[in-house]
Amino acid sequence: MKRLAAEWEPQDAVLICWPHEKTDWAPMLPEVDEVFLTIAAAVTRFEKLIVAAYDEIAVRAQLERRGIRMDRVILHQTESNDTWARDFGPITINENGTPVLLDFTFTGWGGKFAAALDNRISEELHAAGAFGRTPLRKIDLILEGGSIESDGRGTLLTTAECLLNPNRNTQYSQERIEARLTAELGSRKFLWLKEGSLAGDDTDAHIDTLARFGPNDTILYVKCDDPSDEHFATFQALENELKNFHTLENQPYRLIPLPWPSAKFDADGSRLPATYANFLVINGAVLVPTYHDPADSQALKTVGKAFPDREIIGIDCSPLIMQHGSLHCVTMQIPIGVL
């Protein structure tokens, strides 16, 4: 019996991979370091933090200067191409009552970016003891953590644009993908979104940028309410798809629309994928990305509706979207029992 836990279930830790001068963050390293330090401070209030660091000594010094609780930090030195732990970190299942780490293949979102170092990180951390004695199993399937959402009861929410993209698992049909994920994750029901994609997104429409499960049969989703915006039609269609989804008990979902931030652009005028769906649920709190936007405060309130028993903490992720990701993308929760 296999089961993929929901993100709001109890956790031992959160995994992050620290940015460094050999990544694309080099031109703005101080700004992105500040984001990571803020995330580290928030996470360690509630649980442990596993840090994969290119320069362990330098990262330790940064954490100590910030006053981070170092008794809650597990630091390991490892090489990395980038910082997107959500997509190369291990996906943890519960197998007959025991946690097992699954190490799927990461190819830099269909070969768009160098990823060989990142693809080895889970294995290297496991060998170093970062995950305790929990076994790690390599899976010969290309899959990123940001591309799937679990309700903890056997339903998987995902997008056709990503999982059925020929740049991932060439010539895999929907039926074959479902069969593999049923075998590896214990999934029993699949909800496929065919609409919705953010301009500037490199992931081919990861679900964690669009729609997220919450407790009590809830789905929080991106809603574009500006008819003049290029995203309006596709997100109207996405909303209609969600209205037609049903739970395992054949009940409609409680749908909570997330606010739409104003358009964000890089120095070249290219639009950036700012989304409030990229939040992280941890023990006792939800970390929500903010963007110095008038909609930030409403986003925090909206996420709070789905998680009324948790502290809602805004994290300025304006630097992260400059490399086309956000808060959830740079983190991977490690469920209880792993450490």
pLDDT by residue (tens digit) across 205-239? Answer: 999 999 999 999 999 999 999 999 999 999 999 99
335: closest CA among 129, 109, 102, 112?
102
85: closest CA among 45, 115, 42?
115
- Residue 149 pairs in a beta bridge with 157
Residues 94-139 pLDDT 10s = 999 999 999 999 999 999 999 999 999 999 999 999 999 999 999 9
pTM score > 0.75 for this model? yes
pLDDT score, position 111: 97
**74 with 50: CB under 8 angstroms?**
yes
Percent with pLDDT over 70 in the chain = 100
Q: Domain with 186 in it: what CATH number?
A: 3.75.10.10
81: helix, strand or coil: coil
**129 with 83: CB under 8 angstroms?**
no
Q: In whole angstroms, give the CA distance from residue 198 to residue 203.
A: 10
Does residue 52 have a pLDDT over 90?
A: yes
Residues of the domain holding 69: 2-335
On the 0-12 / 13-18 / 19+ scale of CB atoms within 10 A, 82 is: buried
pLDDT score, position 165: 96
Structure tokens of 125? 């951390």
pLDDT score, position 336: 98
Q: In whole angstroms, give the CA distance from residue 138 to residue 118.
A: 14
Residue 251, number of CB atoms within 10 A of its CB: 9
DSSP E strand boundaries for the chain = 2-4, 11-17, 48-53, 73-77, 91-95, 98-105, 136-142, 148-150, 155-159, 189-193, 211-214, 218-222, 254-258, 264-265, 271-272, 280-282, 285-290, 311-316, 332-335
Percent with pLDDT over 90 in the chain = 100
60: closest CA among 45, 81, 83, 76?
76
CA of residue 89 relative to chain centroid, distance? 10
Average confidence (pLDDT) over 300-318: 98
User: Side by side, which strands form the sheet with 98-105?
Assistant: 2-4, 91-95, 98-105, 136-142
Number of folded domains in the chain? 1
Does residue 171 have a pLDDT over 90?
A: no
pLDDT score, position 286: 99
Residue 142, number of CB atoms within 10 A of its CB: 21
Q: In whole angstroms, give the CA distance from residue 328 to residue 169.
A: 24
Average confidence (pLDDT) over 137-159: 98
Residue 308, number of CB atoms within 10 A of its CB: 8
